[in-house]
Chain A
Amino acid sequence: MENTENIIEFRHITKRFPGIIACNDISLDIRKGEIHALLGENGAGKSTLMSVLFGMYTPEEGTIAIRGKEVKITNPRVATELGIGMVHQHFKLVQNYTVLQNIILGSETLKGPFLDMDSCRKKVVELSEKYGLAIDPDALIENITVGQQQRCEILKMLYREAEILIFDEPTAVLTPQEIDELMEIMKGLAKEGHTILFISHKLEEIKRVSDRVTVLRRGKLIKTLDAASTTTTQMGELMVGREVSFHVDKKPADPKEEVLKVEHLTMINDETKKKVVNDVSFSVRKGEILAIAGIDGNGQSELIYGLTGIMPINEGKITINGVDYTKKSIRERNLIMSHIPEDRHKYGLILDYPLSYNLALKNYFKPDFVSKTGFLKFNKFDTYADELIDRFDIRSGQGKDTMARSMSGGNQQKAIVAREIDQNSDVLVAVQPTRGLDVGAIEFIHKQLVEQRDKGKAVLLMSFELDEVMDVADRVIVMFEGEIMGNLDPKKVSVEEMGLYMAGVKREEKAQ
């Protein structure tokens, strides 16, 4: 067609980690000016392959050629010089710097010994106009939305004259509208001659935006396909190696009595004095899944932290099974409420503890795990860990002795899910339980959530993924700026309508 010149050639790339071959003899050509998606489960090797390209890992075997010339990319600086830029899944921005300052950081233009801010600004404004990346260069990063932060990251790459742009799961944190905008931006960039590598496991997006898609599975390249002529079902099957169902099979909910009840919960941010959670009331019944939907940063996270006792609440009452839990300690709450936390590295795991210790994090003080004299029963730790590893298919290099830090993100998440579900608590609070997971793992976790519901648990699901909310939940409340905008039945509202509630445009009469 118009351009078949290869800009990147991977030749027999192999990268090993202890116990795992992350990339196994991968050979792949990327054409100039295409949007090339990399699709695969967690641990399939997509991120590793891109990290090799960006110079963060050195492969044990294989070579990379850029623009026909073999290169050794030993660190990200070399990659930048070769015109490769990367937007990481977790943005690397200085929070209390402005957009402009962040963009030029590390490649500032100087006038003598001084910064030449004017010419920097001119270049940034030109770029943002050229590619439709609307952003205020003087806004502080901490004050702008995640979508805008991402634009800032994209501008950072363009400012460094990157020609090859790597996006690592760029849509994971965006709203549906922001995703649409990003897709347009990506297409625009490709039209201007940039080559885009796009890591994702969202099949719809891949189909919408990419020209070709390469499927990886367990470190091996399975196939490179033409995106337009392949269905999402085919992609999904290639990715997991079997048929997958995208919709959660579940019986209609049969909710019974109220288990968790939250009344007039209000939380005020200490610094801004803003009501981040404003007079929120809801209840979850036995045998139902209630989802909290909304765009990131509208008080959902705080609500969960207040509920689970991690943050103090200012007003309101929390009742579980008729008992007032408002003033109970975290440990007391843990005994009746499982919590899959939003931030797995901050809260969910002790990264420098082995897997077996982490799996026992909510149990270690129970009589099965510790003797009356205070000595830990390590045999129990081991058998318990082996059981959960087996049941939840947690993969790692050295089994239960693997340090949590050296496990892949997906398997870390599986470990947390395993631990929390196995608590068998009356209330299960799952926050972004499938974030960063692949289709197979998502399917598995959704099944677990529904199973917990059918067992008569009260499940509270907080998610930024609208699809997840619509598929899994029996009832949805939407939060906007700390308030509940609506209490909806996912079977009766469309995604678009939900989007209006999420954006604060629409509000149910007498919500709650």
Chain B
Amino acid sequence: MSVKTKKKFEIANYTGLLSSLIAIVGGLIIAFIVLMATNPSKGLSAFVTLITGGFQLGGMKNLGTLFYFATPILCTGVAMCLAFQAGIFNIGGPGQYSVGALAAILTSLYFSKNLPAPLTWIVPLIVATFAGAAWAFIPGVLKAYFNVNVVIGTIMFNYIEMYYMMHWINDYCYDAMKGQTRAIPAQCRLPQAFMPAITQNKTADIGILIAILFAVLAWVLIEKTKLGYELKACGKNAEASRYAGIRSKRNIMISILLSGALCGLGGGLTHLSASGTYITMKEQLAAEGFNGIAVCCLANNNPLGAILGALFLAFLTVGGNYMQIFGFQREIVSVITSVIIYFAAFSLFLKQILERLLMKQKTQINKVTGEELK
């Protein structure tokens, strides 16, 4: 029996992975067509750069850059998995992410820089996490207790955050000379540990490791715990969950708060990074928030899959940046990555088709083996 069980789970994982791969290949094909159409003479070399992540040009140093780009979208991606599993479509990633970023910057500038060693960066990270959760709190309450559509609730909060953040930056941490947030003190940045040695990149830090740790924790939570069982139950059938005595309002709050917290963590990790990142005064939602949705789709809502998904999208970003060498505009690079992300969103749909096909195949096999199954 247990062998049979294993086999079934293998098939499930395999269709999930295969559908993600098909989505990626499909996206790459379109990307190639776009590149060739834009500039036929350089299209091929640019495409090669894209799919090799620019490693033949930048060398191993790119691994550090890859991790840098992967860290925030891994956090937001896992955040989306947690919310979607519970049936909560959290579109508030950009807001929760930016609030986390700002909270980390302000905490390190005004408070944690004078604390003893590891607390200098741990405290801002914790504050960032709570800030992200706090930003998800109100849409969560609106959804759980007043049945306000969560998409609308969270998306509105993205805009509130965007404008409100300008006010905060302006008043508390604006570097007028550079037109961006002030640099955070060196002691508040994430430790680099052994990361520069591994990645041969001087600015690499442990951010990606923290993000991966949280992805694993999220997976354990969803798959192995009572809370995960309840969250998924609410996501799959809210009425039946209520019938079973699961407190759905509480679960909505938990999932959206955890989701917001992870987004906030992503913002904190990025803006405490050793390479130094700043928030500029632009009326723009943080792309990291939305890209988390793509990561989550690529991963079929599985936090472990999100690790691969985030690394892959970061890989494309790194390669895409190198395409500028071949005279492609930044915007074309964005178009290419967007196309692939767009395809990623289809991976769930592809998964269903694959499963149906497999089922058909299986019945064919049964036919050959006759009445074995009875």
Where the two chains meet, the residues of A that have a C-beta atom closer than 8 Å to any C-beta of B are 16-21, 60, 308, 310, 329-334, 339, 341, 346-353, 357, 361-362, 364-365, 370, 374-376, 386, 397-399, 401
Contacts and interface: CB of A to CB of B under 8 A. Distances in A.
A308, A329, A365 — most chain B CB neighbours (10 Å): A365
Given A16-B363, A351-B236, A370-B226, A341 B373 contact: no
Contact of A357 (B229, B373, B374): B229
12 contacts: A16-B363, A310-B243, A331-B245, A341-B243, A346-B237, A346-B240, A351-B236, A361-B240, A364-B229, A376-B229, A399-B1, A401-B8
B225 A374 contact: yes
Interface in B19-65: none
B245 A334 contact: yes
Interface residues of B, number: 31
Contacts of B338: none
B5 to A, nearest CB: 6
- Top 5 A-B pairs, shortest CB-CB distance: A331-B245, A347-B243, A330-B245, A350-B237, A16-B363
B363 A17 contact: yes
Interface in B319-374: 359, 362-363, 366-367, 371, 373-374
B178 interface: no
A357 B231 CA distance: 13
A397 B246 CA distance: 29
Contacts of A339: 243
Given A351-B236, A362-B244, A16 B5 contact: no
Interface string B86-113: 0000000000000000000000000000
Contacts of B232: 353
A353 B233 contact: yes
Contacts of B233: 350, 353, 361
Contacts of A350: 233, 236-237, 240-241
B353 to A, nearest CB: 16
Contacts, number: 84
Contact of A330 (B5, B242, B367, B371): B242
Interface string B113-126: 00000000000000
Contacts of A310: 242-243
Contact of B373 (A20, A332, A348, A362): A20
B243 A364 contact: no
Nearest to A332: B245
Nearest to A344: B240
Nearest to A348: B240
B240 A376 contact: no
Given A350-B241, A374-B225, 20 more contacts: A16-B366, A18-B359, A19-B373, A308-B243, A331-B247, A332-B245, A333-B245, A334-B245, A347-B243, A349-B237, A350-B236, A351-B236, A352-B237, A364-B226, A364-B229, A374-B226, A375-B226, A398-B4, A399-B4, A401-B5
B225, B226, B232 — most chain A CB neighbours (10 Å): B226
Contacts of A397: 373
A334 B359 CA distance: 38
Contacts of B237: 346, 349-352
Given A18-B362, A398-B8, A348 B243 contact: yes
Contacts of B240: 346-350, 361
B239 A60 contact: no
A470 B243 CA distance: 29
A43 to B, nearest CB: 12
Contacts of B229: 357, 364, 376
B215 to A, nearest CB: 18
Contacts of B241: 350
B227 A329 contact: no
Contacts of A308: 243
A374 B236 contact: no
A19 B243 CA distance: 30
B367 A60 contact: yes
B8, B232, B363, B367 — most chain A CB neighbours (10 Å): B363
Given A349-B240, A362-B244, A18 B225 contact: no
A365 B5 contact: no
Nearest to B234: A350
Contacts of A401: 4-5, 8
Nearest to B220: A375
Contact of A16 (B236, B244, B367): B367
A334 B5 contact: no
A334 to B, nearest CB: 5
A434 B247 CA distance: 29
Contacts of B8: 398, 401
Given A350-B233, A353-B236, A18 B243 contact: no
Contacts of A334: 244-245
B224 interface: yes
Contacts of A362: 244-245
Contacts of B5: 401
A21 B363 CA distance: 10
